[in-house]
Amino acid sequence: MALTNHTLEDLFGQLGLPSGPDDIKRFVTRHRPLAPGVRLADATFWSPAQAQFLREEFTEDADWAELVDQLNVMLRA
């Protein structure tokens, strides 16, 4: 199995979001804290396509799963 070394910036780009380090910080600051009972993909700030991507990548433990989990942690901090 080939391992892919995606970055958080790559994940934001995949989601169609501005992906520079400052853009990511602003996004996290704007949207945290995510309520304890809300799954990351169910947060209201995602488009349907973004939510589906996050859900699928996390559920399937796909290439992006580790970064999706990292984003989840960042939004709960």
- Please report which confidence band the pLDDT of residue 1 belongs to, taking 50, 70 and 90 as the band edges: very low
Looking at the domain assignment, is residue 32 inside a domain?
Answer: yes
The token pair at 39 is 């799954």
Looking at the domain assignment, is residue 2 inside a domain?
Answer: no
Read off the pTM.
Answer: 0.87
| Exposed / middle / buried, residue 19 (Cβ in 10 Å: 0-12, 13-18, 19+) | middle
The boundaries of the domain holding residue 59 are 8-76
Measured torsion, CA atoms of residues 6, 69, 24, 39, in degrees rounded to the nearest 10: 140
CA distances to 4, 7, 15, 31, 60 from 44, rounded to whole Å, are 29, 24, 15, 10, 22
- Please report which confidence band the pLDDT of residue 63 belongs to, taking 50, 70 and 90 as the band edges: confident
CATH number for the domain harbouring residue 48 = 1.10.10.1130
Q: Are 18 and 77 in contact (CB under 8 A)?
A: no
Looking at the domain assignment, is residue 25 inside a domain?
Answer: yes
Q: How many domains does the chain have?
A: 1
